[in-house]
Structure 1
């Protein structure tokens, strides 16, 4: 009886020791868990953004109409016993492709890739207005991102060549309005163009739209009336020595058509047309009509050829007589 009791006691004692040893072994086993359980950053308004964790992707849905931060400091929770690199609280570049590596206790690893999703509605364009080189470009609509790093405008010509509109500090770049200037730099020419708008991840193309030559004001020049202060006969030629400001000048050199002349004393503001006789890049000559009135010339207005934007032509320059330089028409 005593032996049987002692045997049971030794058996139970050994079993307990085995179980205890086994329990200690399990407690110190290295685990294979290597998941990111939560990934939190703060948006431009300092609100928390919780990333969506799908497979090996960390997807951050950025709020609409907020400027996207360049850098953020994520708070990261990983599986128990695992570590992550870059670590929680370490500043990173907020851009698609930024990677994280989680290392489990047993040394196995899992790589995650950050994906930035801009949660932006598709822009709507209600109206586009533009006319000339060097003048205003206006786009009215909705859901534009008011950030020149994310919103860009291009003009596309018939050869599919693109010209970017670069925004200045005085341009309007709002969520419902974009206003800038059609370039007048010698690179962009007149013609029909499409408008391409890129705003965030969205792209819209509209058109076509006609862009005309720059206004005469863009081609400001220096004009000198060569016969100022002299007497001129009917049917003679008058001339202007001149120069124009580039790059608008190429649209007006060689493109003058006539001069309109008023004479002091003519009733009812009567005008006389002097057609162009010859022209170069420095000299314009006009022929006085034989029927022009005699007397002092009051004004001479120089015109270039008409087009769709100015059916009567462009007034390029007006000379007005002065007391010191009276020019007289004689028979």
Structure 2
């Protein structure tokens, strides 16, 4: 009988040990670590992020194009889950956040930080003594990030107010890693005076100057002239007009009226006769003049638009089509 009791005691002890062992084997774990985070760069090479605390630091190669999104491969603690999932596209920005959930339901949040390894831009301003409103500004150097979302160019006045300069590579402007050709706005936002030039490229900011900005050149203000009566026949007393394009600061810096000088070749072949004709009317895109009653008959050989007592001649026309003057 004692042997039977001892036998059952041994069996009960074994079952108790087995049950305890099973409970330990299936206990939920509290682990919620990101163990590795790997992406592929623009050249196809793998990049492994550094996991420090709750931060994912991914160092991107200098001057490589930065993507809008990445598709990382992520390993985490055994039995844990992650959102967004490994292999899911995410934004290449600090807006990306991961949450790792352990088996026991505890969570840990990780924030993604793209680290762009870029040296500060180095540059000089070309022809800095001749900067003008509506004129071009030339910048040469190196380490410019040729991406309009990462590089910005400003003129900054004495009060630290910033005025944006356009950046593009479209034939009108140049924008690459070593050269920038931009234009000083002529929309009235920038006045003459001293300004610093500030470039923000990636996480780097470089400021040069100050530089003096002068009034616009008349040839940058009056542009695109068209002689509307070219190829026509005109009579004494008729009106002729010049169409043109301009910029917003025209009236501020060039308020004076304009005139024209005509050269007419007589029908008999005598030397050209010169006429100075005052402006009849001026709008933002057209100049109108009236031919004098005493003008001779012949062909119009030259027409000049003049400003400020013949000091400037922004338009100097020679005929492609004959323009005749008759009585």
Given the two structures, how large is their TM-score scaled by the length of structure 1? 0.69
Give the alignment partner of residue 213 of structure 1, picking from 212, 216, 223: 216
Measured in 1, the distance between the counterparts of 2:134 and 2:101 equals 59
Measured in 1, the distance between the counterparts of 2:103 and 2:262 equals 96
Give the alignment partner of residue 113 of structure 2, picking from 112, 115, 119: 115
Match of 2:295 in 1: none
> Which moves more between the two structures, 43-52 or 312-321?
312-321
Are the counterparts in 2 of residues 254 and 279 from structure 1 also a CA contact under 8 Å? no
Are the counterparts in 1 of residues 261 and 305 from structure 2 also a CA contact under 8 Å? yes
Give the alignment partner of residue 202 of structure 2, picking from 190, 200, 203: 200
Match of 1:41, SS state, is strand
CA change 1:210–1:223 in 2 (3 A) is farther
Measured in 2, the distance between the counterparts of 1:159 and 1:255 equals 35
Residues 21-53 of structure 1 deviation map (CA, whole Å, 9 limit, x = unaligned): 332221111111110001111222222111110
**Is 1:147 matched with 2:147?**
yes
Match of 2:124 in 1: 126
Are the counterparts in 1 of residues 138 and 180 from structure 2 also a CA contact under 8 Å? yes
CA change 1:279–1:196 in 2 (3 A) is farther
Match of 1:26, SS state, is helix
Residues 193-241 of structure 1 deviation map (CA, whole Å, 9 limit, x = unaligned): 22111111111121222223134253145789xxx999xxxxxxxxx98
Aligned Cα root-mean-square deviation (Å): 4.3
Measured in 2, the distance between the counterparts of 1:71 and 1:319 equals 55
Are the counterparts in 2 of residues 253 and 280 from structure 1 also a CA contact under 8 Å? no
Residues matched between the structures, number:
288
Pairs within 5 Å for 1:317-328: 317-318=315-316
CA change 1:46–1:243 in 2 (3 A) is same
Measured in 2, the distance between the counterparts of 1:323 and 1:85 equals 77
- The structure with more radius of gyration: 1
The Cα of 1:127 is off from its aligned counterpart by 3.5
CA change 1:318–1:110 in 2 (3 A) is closer
Give the alignment partner of residue 191 of structure 2, picking from 189, 192, 203: 189
Match of 1:147, SS state, is coil
Pairs within 5 Å for 1:29-48: 29-48=27-46
Residues 125-176 of structure 1 deviation map (CA, whole Å, 9 limit, x = unaligned): 2334452233322111111111111111112234433221222322222111
CA change 1:8–1:214 in 2 (3 A) is farther
> Which moves more between the two structures, 178-187 or 44-53?
178-187
Match of 2:18 in 1: 20
Match of 1:84, SS state, is strand
Match of 2:124, SS state, is strand
CA change 1:323–1:42 in 2 (3 A) is closer
CA change 1:109–1:177 in 2 (3 A) is same
> Which moves more between the two structures, 186-195 or 140-149?
186-195
**Is 1:100 matched with 2:103?**
no
Match of 1:21, SS state, is helix
Measured in 2, the distance between the counterparts of 1:314 and 1:210 equals 23
Match of 1:24, SS state, is helix
Measured in 1, the distance between the counterparts of 2:308 and 2:115 equals 53
Are the counterparts in 2 of residues 260 and 300 from structure 1 also a CA contact under 8 Å? yes
Are the counterparts in 2 of residues 62 and 117 from structure 1 also a CA contact under 8 Å? yes
Residues 166-196 of structure 1 deviation map (CA, whole Å, 9 limit, x = unaligned): 2232222211111122223343333322211
The unaligned stretches of length 5 or more in structure 2 are: 229-233, 266-277, 290-300
Residues 294-313 of structure 1 deviation map (CA, whole Å, 9 limit, x = unaligned): xxxx989776569xxxxx95
Match of 1:87, SS state, is coil
Given the two structures, how large is their TM-score scaled by the length of structure 2? 0.70
Measured in 2, the distance between the counterparts of 1:153 and 1:54 equals 35
